[in-house]
């Protein structure tokens, strides 16, 4: 394959994904809107949409295009093939039912946190957390718990690539401050998030590690700051999270 062909193929794939992400942001869009947003010729956008539609990744209603259910097939496959998915699903459901709050299990990929599974209890607050959503590790309890169990060199590489952007005024944006907190998390076994990712929301999280020390993911419980305070936030929830993740680690080891 020539260099020109290689560049052409990569450029085509990039354009496909640019269109896919633009459709995701807009839920539905026409060719002209996508062309203007992506600075592409309408004919180029049309060709890509035609290909994506033929492969089942895009649907068309009237003059507007939307992402197709084929993505759900792929997403479901990726989710359920994760080695900890079934165990995480069982434990997240149990803890959500027990606490009535929002509970989630996240994993790390390419330096980001990604929701593998989430469940809401009867008293849970609504957030924009959804399966597959990604974000920066340093902004959440589960994410910080994962970072605390990574080698320092790996944390440095993640920070070099993704930085420490602020989601709220409480987000840690200083590298030294983050490393100091990660040391505290390693010592006590769990992490806090006090309005660091979402105003009005706090969380407690702990990592799940395999017997060889590999970080599998992290479980966290989140809720409104007016409920997540005092003994509940400082003792009861951390104890529940630690007990849950320890149980998951034992089941992983002997499964």
pLDDT per residue as tens digits for the range 175-229: 999 999 999 999 999 999 999 999 999 999 999 999 999 999 999 999 999 999 9
Quick one: pLDDT at residue 118? 93
Provide mean pLDDT across the span 110-126. Answer: 89
Query: Cα separation of 148 and 180, whole Å?
Result: 10
State the span(s) of the chain assigned CATH 1.10.10.10: 3-68
Quick one: pLDDT at residue 1? 36
Which residue did the predictor score with more confidence, 255 or 205?
205
Quick one: pLDDT at residue 146? 98
State the span(s) of the chain assigned CATH 3.30.450.40: 75-254
Angle in degrees, CA 230, 234, 236, rounded to 5: 100
Provide mean pLDDT across the span 138-162. Answer: 97
User: Does the structure show a pLDDT above 60 at 110?
Assistant: yes
pLDDT band at 10 (very low <50, low <70, confident <90, very high): low
User: Does the structure show a pLDDT above 80 at 59?
Assistant: yes
pLDDT band at 7 (very low <50, low <70, confident <90, very high): very low
Provide mean pLDDT across the span 136-150. Answer: 97
Provide mean pLDDT across the span 77-103. Answer: 90
**Topology (CATH) of 75-254:** Beta-Lactamase (3.30.450)
- What are the φ/ψ torsions at residue 213 (nearest 5 degrees)? 90, -5
SS3 of 63, please? coil
8-state DSSP, 139: G
What percentage of the chain has pLDDT greater than the value 70? 95
Contact in structure between 151 and 177 (CB atoms under 8 Å): no
User: Does the structure show a pLDDT above 60 at 2?
Assistant: no
Structure tokens at 166: 């602020």
User: Does the structure show a pLDDT above 70 at 98?
Assistant: yes
Low-confidence winner among 24-28, 104-108, 113-117, 187-191 (lowest mean pLDDT) = 24-28
Which residue did the predictor score with more confidence, 126 or 26?
26
**For domain 3-68, which architecture applies?**
Orthogonal Bundle (1.10)
Query: Cα separation of 92 and 107, whole Å?
Result: 14
| Residues forming beta bridges with residue 105, ordered by sequence position | 117, 219
User: Does the structure show a pLDDT above 90 at 40?
Assistant: yes
Which residue did the predictor score with more confidence, 151 or 80?
151
Provide the whole-model pTM.
0.81
């Amino acid at each position: 394959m020539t260099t020109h062909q290689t560049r052409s193929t990569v450029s085509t794939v990039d354009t496909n994904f640019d269109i896919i992400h633009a459709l995701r942001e807009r839920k539905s869009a026409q060719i002209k809107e996508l062309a203007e947003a992506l600075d592409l010729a309408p004919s180029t956008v049309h060709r890509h949409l035609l290909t994506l539609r033929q492969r089942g990744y895009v649907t068309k209603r009237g003059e507007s295009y939307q992402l197709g259910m084929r993505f759900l097939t792929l997403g479901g496959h990726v989710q359920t093939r994760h080695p900890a998915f079934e165990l995480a699903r069982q434990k997240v459901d149990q803890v959500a039912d027990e606490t009535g709050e929002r509970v989630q299990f996240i994993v790390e990929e390419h330096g980001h946190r990604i929701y593998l599974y989430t469940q809401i209890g009867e008293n849970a607050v609504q957030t924009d957390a959804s399966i597959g959503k990604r974000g920066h590790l340093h902004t959440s309890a589960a994410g910080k718990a994962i970072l605390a169990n990574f080698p320092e060199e790996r944390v440095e590489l993640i920070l070099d690539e993704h930085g420490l952007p602020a989601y709220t005024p409480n987000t840690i944006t200083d590298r030294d401050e983050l490393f100091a907190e990660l040391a505290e998390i390693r010592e006590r076994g769990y992490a806090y998030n006090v309005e660091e990712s979402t105003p009005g929301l706090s969380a407690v999280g702990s990592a799940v590690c395999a017997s060889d020390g590999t970080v599998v993911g992290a479980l966290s419980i989140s809720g409104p700051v007016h409920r997540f305070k005092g003994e509940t936030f400082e003792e009861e929830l951390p104890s529940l999270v630690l007990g849950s993740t320890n149980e998951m680690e034992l089941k992983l080891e002997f499964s």
